[in-house]
Structure 1
């Protein structure tokens, strides 16, 4: 299995995925809590949701052949090549506010998104 590993310092927003400082901090906190140092946040995009496409977040310890791996401050995010086409130029963020805490995608490719922020259209 091969994957391209890049750091946030070398990523260009228009052609890759980046992680905010808060997202990196939260991924590292969750990996430490699970005592799984190889744990990565996997982001996938699939058809569905109220706007056409939806984001899915899961933790994984494997990198598949068609995955791209992104890293910031030791936190790792893995995205398959098909999902990355829809996420290109996006930033993964971790939000904490009155309604809760959650990972969010700031996707410049989305022409609209639903109120819950988990689905979008292009």
Structure 2
């Protein structure tokens, strides 16, 4: 059985900060075809659908649709603050390669 993705405390904390300003909404993490490596992540605030996997922590929710779930098995959803900017990042053990932008990958 594939392990579901994990969300770090840091990612939940950042989502709580965003939701404090915008109102409570889950963070959707999806995988779509495209990008420079074949697949790309789509990370945005979105309402949960009935068939989504809901990952909860710190009063926040991250949702993953059933089509994206196999691509995110065992992945870690984190929040990174670097000099070039702050963003949600995905450490994905299923990705055989990724591009420099960090939002595109191949399997």
Is 1:104 paired with 2:92? no
- Counterpart in the other structure of 1:11: none
RMSD: 1.0
Report the secondary structure of 1:65's partner residue: coil
Match of 2:64 in 1: 79
The runs of 4+ residues in structure 1 deviating greater than 3 Å are none
Q: How many pairs were matched up?
A: 106
Alignment of 1:1-122 (within 5 A): 15-34=3-22, 36-37=23-24, 39-60=25-46, 62-122=47-107
What is the TM-score normalised by the length of structure 1? Answer: 0.83
Looking at structure 2, the residues matched to 118 and 26 of structure 1 have their Cα atoms a distance apart, in angstroms, of 19
TM-score in terms of structure 2 length: 0.94
Q: Where does the alignment leave 5 or more consecutive residues of structure 2 unmatched?
A: none
- Give the match's secondary structure for 2:95: coil
